Amino acid sequence: MTRSPTSPKHVLITGGSGLLGMRLTDALLEKGYRVSHLGRKPGKDVRVQTFLWDVTKGKVDEQCIDDTDVIVHLAGAGIADKKWSEDRKKLIINSRAASIRLIYNLIQRRPNKVNSIISAAAIGYYGNRGNELLTEESPPGKGFMPECCIAWEEAADEGKKLGLRVVKLRTGVVLDKKGGALRQMAMPVKLYAGAALGSGRQWVPWIHWQDAVDMYLAAIENINLTGVYNMVAPAPVTNRQLMKAIATQLDRPLWFFTVPGLVFKMLMGEMSIIILGSTRVSSQKIQDEGFVFKYPDLAGALKQIYG
């Protein structure tokens, strides 16, 4: 049901200028919500007000939480933008954990009516787990990605001490032709050079961008949702299956050979685990809450995306 435009709930999004943030902004505005962004520089979207912050300096426009009901925390330095030096690792973690703590400090000292925090998280929490089927109850893996995700989620959970409802959505690979992983994977396929990566047998937890947006909407609107949920489609696929489905949708061949994992390790170092790691993740918990995926299977998702 569309909310009344005369008294919309106010949602503040950190990282709202990112691809998923823009998709969510569009959906919220269409439903009659009032939306604001919290970013490092003035926004270009005239439909929303952008408040400024500088996490490294611990500064934030305190008016950002005035009349705000729900905060959606999407901000964070790109995981795969640069190699993982020790400084880069600190930035990746702090851009997620220190940023939400900055907001919590503001909530503590300024009158507000914030009641819910919907925080992005990542399936990187589980690490490289082979064929094991992972649920929200599975323990974290080992390595930098699990370390980052643990710090990220623990920081988000500090909102519980303030009486806030905290929802964490462990996101898989969001498929969207406008950007992200799908554009990178599709590029060689379009050039008739598509092939599976690494062994090709590693599991890739994916989700259509529309289902990702809808899950955020569900977390915002359903106050019974709390805790952590996997944001992945019900049917995980292997890397080879994913690349084959992309090639089929684009009417291109997929070469029988694979791109050796050693290539990625040489080029990316420790960060190669993003491509070579295997994470088979269950979506059953969110489905048990009544969430219905619009695009539960990969072929249908890609058909909609490219159609």
Q: Which domains does the chain have, with CATH numbers?
A: 10-306 (3.40.50.720)
Q: Which residues contact 119 (CB under 8 A, 6 or more apart)?
A: 72, 73, 100, 152, 153, 156, 166, 167, 168, 169
Structure tokens at 63: 């008016």
Here the tokens at position 169 are: 């959505």
pLDDT digits over 242-284, tens only? 999 999 999 999 999 999 999 988 888 898 899 999 999 999 9
More confident residue, 7 or 298: 298
pLDDT of residue 266: 87
On the 0-12 / 13-18 / 19+ scale of CB atoms within 10 A, 262 is: exposed
Angle between helices 298-306 and 239-249 (to 10 degrees): 40
Q: What is the pLDDT at residue 8?
A: 60
Which residues, including other chains, have CB under 8 Å from residue 280's CB and lie 6 or more apart?
129, 130, 131, 132, 133, 134, 203, 205, 236
Helix (H) or strand (E) holding 245: helix 239-249
Biggest alpha carbon–alpha carbon distance for the chain: 61
Instruction: Check residue 264 and give its pLDDT.
Output: 86
**Using an 8 Å Cβ cutoff, are 122 and 143 in contact?**
no
Distance of CA 256 to the CA centre of its chain: 31
Q: What is the pLDDT of residue 37?
A: 97
Q: What percent of the chain has pLDDT over 70?
A: 97
Is residue 42 helix, strand or coil?
coil
Percent of the chain having pLDDT more than 90? Answer: 90
- Joined tokens for residue 113: 């009516």
Tokens 């990316």 identify what position?
268
Instruction: Quickly state the pLDDT bin for 3 (edges 50, 70, 90).
Output: very low
Average pLDDT of the chain is 94
Give the strands of the sheet with 59-60, arranged side by side: 59-60, 49-54, 34-39, 10-14, 70-73, 116-122, 165-171, 227-231
Of the listed ranges 96-105, 191-200, 223-232, 265-274, the least confidently predicted one is: 265-274
Q: Check pLDDT > 50 for residue 5.
A: no
